[in-house]
Amino acid sequence: MVQFLPISQDDLNKRGWDQLDIILISGDAYVDHPAWASALLGRFLESYGYRVGIIAQPDWKSTEDFRKLGVPRLFFGLSSGNLDSMVSHYTADKKKRREDVYSPAGKAGYRPDRALTVYSNRIREAFPGSAIIIGGIEASLRRLAHYDYWSHSVRRSILLDSRADLLVYGMGEYILLEIARRMREGQSCQEIKDVPGTAYIDYTSPANALNLPSFEEVKNNKESFSRMTAQLYAHTSPYSSPPLVQPHGNRLVIVNAPAIPLDTEKLDAIYQLPFLRSYHPTYEKAGGIPALTAVQFSLLTHRGCFGGCHFCSIGLHQGKFIQSRSVASIVQEAQSLLSHPDFKGVIPDLGGPSANMYGLSGRNWEQCRQCQKKSCLFPRVCKNLDTDHSPSVELWSKMRQIPGIKHIRVASGVRYDLVLEDSGGKYLDELCRYHVGGQLKVAPEHIAPTVTKLMGKPGGNKYKEFLQQFQTINHKLGKKQYLIPYFISAHPGCGLKETVELAEFVRDHLQYYPEQVQNFTPTPMTISTSMYYTGLNPLNHRPLYLPNSSWERKAQRALLQHRHPDNHSLALEALTKCGRSDLIGSSPKALIKSTAHRSAGPLQAKKKPPRNKKK
């Protein structure tokens, strides 16, 4: 019988264990589901015979919670959770969030800011000399000197602030397994310096390393910071990149090349592990873990993304090479859902970072191994990329044949410009026919050419082409289905003029008024964040416009959501300021009704006539 991984001394006693091999500490509540890193890593290491325990959301104000499972025989493995703790805690405008869906009942306050650093230093206090390995998205994106939006400063590698022994970046199952194997055979954590996908601190540089500008240099010189970003993105290939070395004072932060992408067999082995797909019973009284609801019966088909969007961290974390599971493995996981007491026959999402990249790769693999480009789609689709979407179509066909599965949705979003390149020709029709539950998420982000170029995204013409195909197919199928677009405002290089251009595009071409608008949030190590901090495009070192003022960030968002009454005044001010008063008034093209016309405008909700009550 499958049990939850141990979380208390009582659990250890029931198993007859006097000591654990590995203790995983997470900023998330413990949910035994493959979408939770602590569960995924714990189950994987457990399958190789290691005794693994979890300390979820420890109280960081003392060392008491960190001591409750004792000291592990091998190492502590730390993660802030599925999200960066700062992104989890603060909005794009640096306002404190009131909710945390990865915590009991969705309440905030169960994890600290900069969770990895806090957790690691508490362990150093509780167990001096113990081995500490940090990982997850918070570690991945802070492995080198980086710009920190929340303190508006350049911070050094998180390895130094956390005082950890090793940093694992990317998806870490097999990396941790190799580290655990070596430590079990007697090697100390500090001696492990050659495992791909890891970073460490040393005083001497390895052979053939690439030297980056030092922390002190990038902190004091924005041009050096921009150059560092360019060097990083030019050396992310797991097959041909050298170790990266960055001096921090008299010490060196050394980042080994990324881990080699997993083959299908290795990826299948991870997702065939026994998961309970439920939160630990200790959270029942508190109201459960809200994040589980949306993904409890979702299935991951692949890892990685070759889109290379400049504001996105997926490529830095998971890599650009697509690692796909076999159809048999995904079907087997779907069949296992049928025995779950809460399963109602609906798979709410079957996909990955971009759902339609499943099974795709380059035609000439050797050419891919040598390629250092960050994107296979921008500025144009690579000629070496096989864009036949048949793997997805074949997977869907097999999944629909499973007795007991009523509906399968693709909700994780598709890369629409890639759909337009589908050489198989069946993807969009099959998607609309069977797997869109009325709405399909897409992410054009913007349409102004100057902005989309800086984002690494296709422009408005591609989106209009996709929209036309989507509408045509749904009309043929007799379905009323809609695209739900996501947009980013206040991205580097985007001014009021470009925002108005997007607002007019929304007015003229979209089926839905955009509720999904996000002010750009600079997250560590992305190209867009480098632009935000330096005012330079690291790909060509040209200066660009920065919409950094609080007023403009709010104004851009107000323009895109101008129908909301709360945004009327700010949108009116923005249109006036950028010389677009022609969009104020009563004309059909107007975005904002002037004060004189407001009573007749769309901002005023129509009152329903009173109902006649029956006597």
191 and 294 inside one domain:
no
35 inside domain:
yes
Residue 598 has pLDDT above 80, yes or no: no
pLDDT band for 595, please (50, 70, 90 cuts).
low
Q: Is the pLDDT of residue 607 over 50?
A: no
Residue of 231, 163, 233 lying closest to 200 (CA atoms): 163
Q: Which domain holds residue 377?
A: 264-511
Helices marked H in 134-213 — which ranges? 137-140, 158-162, 173-184
CATH number, domain of 453, equals 3.80.30.20
Residues belonging to the chain: 615
Q: What is the pLDDT of residues 367-381, one digit of tens each?
A: 999 998 999 999 999
d(CA 468, CA 224): 45
Residue 602 has pLDDT above 50, yes or no: no
Pair 296, 200 in one domain: no
Residues 152 and 285 in one domain: no
For residues 204 and 605, what is the distance between their CA atoms, to the nearest angstrom?
Answer: 68
Q: What is the pLDDT of residue 517?
A: 87
| One domain, residues 97 and 126 | yes
Q: pLDDT at position 246, please?
A: 98
Q: 414 and 458: one domain?
A: yes
Record the pTM.
0.93
End position of a domain, from candidates 449, 476, 511: 511
What angle do the packed helices 173-184 and 37-47 form, to 10 degrees? 50
Looking at the structure, tell me whether residues 21 and 86 fall in a common domain: yes
pLDDT for the residue numbered 407: 97
Quote the percentage of the chain above a pLDDT of 70: 96
Distance, in Å, from the CA atom of 3 to the CA atom of 5, rounded to the nearest integer, reads 6
Q: What is the pLDDT, as a whole number, of residue 612?
A: 42
Residue 601: pLDDT band by 50, 70, 90 thresholds? very low
Phi/psi zone of residue 516: left (φ > 0), alpha (ψ -120 to 50 degrees), beta? beta
Arithmetic mean of pLDDT, 512-520 = 80
Whether 241 is covered by a domain: the verdict is no
Quick check: is 599 in a domain? no
Q: What are phi and psi of 52, to 5 degrees?
A: -120, 135
Closest alpha carbon to 170 in 271, 79, 298: 79
In tens, the pLDDT along 96-123 reads: 999 999 999 999 999 999 999 999 999 9
Q: Which residues fall within 8 angstroms of residue 151, CB to CB, at 6 or more apart?
A: none
Q: Which H or E run contains 558?
A: helix 550-560
**pLDDT tens sequence across 539-581:** 999 999 999 999 999 999 999 998 888 999 999 999 999 999 9
| Inside any domain, residue 550 | no
Give the mean pLDDT of 268-279: 96
CB-CB neighbours of 116 under 10 Å: 28
The answer, yes or no, to whether residue 599 has pLDDT greater than 50, is no
**Domain count across the chain:** 2
pLDDT for 511 equals: 59
Asked if the structure places residue 431 within a domain, the reply is yes
Q: What is the CATH number of the domain that holds 251?
A: 3.40.50.280
Query: Average per-residue pLDDT in the chain?
Result: 93
| pLDDT surpasses 90 at 509 | no
Q: Is 519 part of a structural domain of the chain? A: no
Rounded percentage of the chain residues whose pLDDT exceeds 90 = 89
Q: Mark whether 394 and 431 lie in a shared domain.
A: yes
Q: Are residues 110 and 196 in the same domain?
A: yes
| pLDDT for residue 605 is more than 50 | no
Residue with the bigger pLDDT between 412 and 256: it is 256
What's the rounded mean pLDDT across residues 266-289?
96
In tens, the pLDDT along 187-209 reads: 999 999 999 999 999 999 999 99
- Residue 448 placed within a domain: yes
Residues 251 and 288 in one domain: no
Q: What is the pLDDT of residue 402?
A: 98
308 and 421 assigned to the same domain: yes
* Rounded to 5°, angle at Cα 350 from 344 and 353: 140
Same domain (yes/no): 276, 251? no
Domain limit, last residue, from 481, 511, 541: 511
Instruction: Give yes or no: residues 251 and 300 share one domain.
Output: no
Q: What is the pLDDT of residue 157?
A: 98
The last residue of a domain, from among 255, 283, 314: 255
pLDDT band of residue 144 (cuts 50, 70, 90) is: very high
Among 35-44, 70-79, 506-515, where is mean pLDDT lowest? 506-515
Half-sphere CA count of 298, side-chain side, radius 13 A:
23
* Domain membership flag for residue 588: no
